[in-house]
Amino acid sequence: MYILDSNSFRVLEGYYPQTFQTFWDQFNELVRSGRAGSVEEVRKELDQRAARQHLLDWLEANKRIFVPPTPEDMAFVARIFAIPHFQQLIGTKQLARGDPVADPWIIARASSIAGTVVTEEKLKPGGAKIPNVCDHFGVECISLEQTLQREGWQY
């Protein structure tokens, strides 16, 4: 199962449903089949930032895919933050404003279900980005483009 980061959903803003109908049919089937989803914190992040109406409508129609954390997810987030370097997943500005922070929850959910994280972040040597944390814990992490390739979607 693919667990999508908010930045991958933002990429979808450029896929206008009237123009990319085949893409949306395939993506919707991926979601309907239970092979793609996300976490509550991603939905909160997306709700805080203005998005194109077609994506807002899609998010509302598919709100069930944004799941709350399980006890197993919570325990995994604790494992992430037990590593001081990975505490940087939460920015000081985010913390001060009380903004939602989805990154650790995305990784935890993917780990809990042996899924794959889908994010547009890149592995940064010595960094504390999603791909770095995934790499450390052995969680698969790919981009939206790699997801489309894996699924064999071509347009």
pLDDT tens, residue by residue, 2-37: 999 999 999 999 999 999 999 999 999 999 999 999
**Domain of 49, in residue numbers:** 2-151
What domain count does the chain have? Answer: 1
Indicate which CATH number applies to the domain containing 23. Answer: 3.40.50.1010
Whole-prediction pTM value?
0.93
Please state, in angstroms and as integers, the Cα–Cα distance from residue 141 to each residue in 9, 94, 101, 151, following that order.
15, 23, 18, 15
How does pLDDT run across 89-137, given as a tens digit for each residue?
887 666 667 678 899 999 999 999 999 999 999 999 999 999 999 999 9
pLDDT tens, position by position, 29-61: 999 999 999 999 999 999 887 678 999 999 999
Q: Which residues pair with 37 in a beta bridge?
A: 3
**Residue (of 2, 1, 4) closest to 102 by Cα position:** 4
